[in-house]
Amino acid sequence: MCGIIGYVGKQKAAPFILEGLKRLEYRGYDSTGVAILQNGAFSIVKKIGRVANLEKEVAKAPLNGTFGMGHTRWATHGGVTDANAHPHLSSDGKIVLIHNGVIENYGSMKKFLLTKGYTFESETDTEVLCNLIAYHYAKEADSAEENRCLAAVRKALLHAEGTYGIVAMSVDLPGEMVAARKGSPLILGLGDGENIVASDVSAIVARTQSVVYLKDGEIVHLTPKEFRITTLDQESVAPFVDQVTWSVADAEMGTYAHFMEKEIFEQPIALENAMRGRFSEDGSTANFGGLNISAGEFRGIERFTFCACGTALHACMVTEHMIERFARIPVECDYASEFRYRNSPLFRNTLFFVMSQSGETIDTLAALREAKRKGYKVLAVTNVVGSTVAREADGGIYQHVGPEIGVASTKAFTSQLLIGAMLALYIGRMRDLSFSDGVDYVRALKGAPDLVRRALEQAPHIQAIARRYARYADMLFLGRLSLFPIALEGALKLKEISYIHAEGYPAAEMKHGPIALISADCPSVFFAPSGEILNKIISSMQEIKARQGRIIAIITERVELPAGLADEIIVIPECHEAVLPIVASIPVQLLSYYIAVERGCDVDKPRNLAKSVTVE
């Protein structure tokens, strides 16, 4: 949450920073701001709302300095106001700061600083940290410390409790910048006579593909020509320079109206990329190169635990079904945010998995660390190379779907479903899944991209349905077995981007309470694929129809519903059960998207949400 960008170089900083903020806006869009050092002072412009509002303000008084920072905010402490927007300037005018995270002990720090004569103009914890840095900076005035700002930041952070990704500058030191992280991502972009720091690669790739991912507890001193990384206790760190494998064009909308629309229609290619090179030569199982666990160790596993948040948790729930179905091993799914605080008994010979598209989700990272602390091996499924989850896990699987900008996850979700199905195959083939069943399974997975393409052909039909249902205030999503988590995901998508209240349930649970909500004003979306429980699902649909509930039915090609049972029908291809959740996700993604567009919602930047949740 929150977007951070800092620039030291030879070109005007403001245009590059503003462009970077546009690419970071999906991380937070309550307010934005920029600070540029010019003519011996900081020029700071801040504005509530989107980056476009900030651009208009900057245009009134052009900023010409080559040294500066920018921020787009997702509010934590303090309301959405110009005063609470970042950057924050210390009351003595010496230090300017941007910050992502939460300083938990800011109250006691503020009381101390008030006794030292520092004043405050905002309600934020960030301004408190900024003044604390200024306090230590003033104390360093007569110090022999070579980098005075660096020393002040280091000393201030030793007193800070909580999480942070920060960038700080001093008015006295043009061309120098200090950045540090703990629990909130920061990335260095290394250029020719310029260096950049940002919270996301998307803000950097327009200028350089060479990056360094900072680790927790690291602090970096930047100038246009060099950088030096140390720990908070002043130990030197040898940087590892990585190369970004995607271009700025991958993070642009192209001809689509929204990033979410683009990413929905990118899913066939994303699925192909996620499975490329990951099947055995005999075509009977999956292969994963980065698990760092032998086949023998896998055979000794007696239980799996998956931890994730939000959409990724729904992918874990589908994976649970697949592993238990095809590998016959017990699986437990847990909210990552709850796992770290619960003291649930853990079984021996358990392997942990965490899923996080960004690899920076703070609750998921905390669950990973808790499992490792208790002596368990943890593997990760993530999309971002170099992310904290990827670095701290014992091994894992990259999704390889490219940048996902829309806040509501689509292509990352279906790739997680695919990887989950591949894991079930991989483990199942080590157990009792036959060669011929494995071949059929692999053939089905390889066919998933084309099945998704066929499902996407329903887009005009689904858009027409969306127009008829955009006025409703409530909606239910109902599915069974592996499609129950897809019902949860469909409800989440609708809530996220259209602000319609929606809930997901197992279809058979309707009788146990939720049926009280049914009326002509509460439509239900049913997943009704062919199979042994189709008649049970039809019975649930009839119970709703008897109570004047409207029904949108998502069925597979061989299904024939009783006449008049469904008010709307969306047909998806028949497919192997391992692929069904992937294909069934497409209609609910499209339905949610088109309903949100019909209601005039800001699809890519839904209210109160941000793409990567990096604060608790």
Amino acid symbol at 288 = F
List all residues 6 or more positions away from 46 whose beta carbon is below 8 Å from its beta carbon.
31, 32, 33, 34, 54, 82, 85, 86, 87
Question: Is 94 tagged catalytic?
Answer: no
The distance from CA 89 to its chain's CA centroid, rounded to whole angstroms, is 30
How far is residue 8's CA from residue 12's CA, in Å, rounded to a whole number? 9
Angstrom distances, CA of residue 283 to CA of 273, 425, 450: 17, 11, 18
Angstrom distances, CA of residue 378 to CA of 304, 310, 364, 430, 543: 10, 19, 11, 20, 44
How far is residue 468's CA from residue 479's CA, in Å, rounded to a whole number? 22
Question: Is 611 tagged catalytic?
Answer: yes
Amino acid symbol at 52 = A
Q: Which of 46, 94, 155, 611 is catalytic?
A: 611
Contact 82, 48 (CB under 8 A): yes
How long a stretch of residues is the chain?
A: 616
Contact 581, 567 (CB under 8 A): no
Q: Which of 2, 316, 333, 575 is catalytic?
A: 2
Q: Which residue has the tokens 């908070």?
A: 232
If one counts every other C-beta atom within 10 angstroms of the C-beta of residue 395, the result is 15
Angstrom distances, CA of residue 595 to CA of 99, 232, 463, 470, 498: 35, 49, 8, 5, 7
Contact 65, 13 (CB under 8 A): yes
Task: Give me the DSSP letters along 493-551.
Answer: HHHHHH--EEEEEEGGGGGGTGGGG-BTTB-EEEEE-SSTTHHHHHHHHHHHHTTT--E
Contact 332, 376 (CB under 8 A): no
Contact 615, 418 (CB under 8 A): no
The distance from CA 325 to its chain's CA centroid, rounded to whole angstroms, is 29
Angstrom distances, CA of residue 140 to CA of 155, 175, 227, 518: 10, 19, 21, 67
Identify the H or E element spanning 439: helix 435-446
Two tokens, residue 417: 């479903």
Q: Annotated catalytic sites, by residue?
A: 2, 611
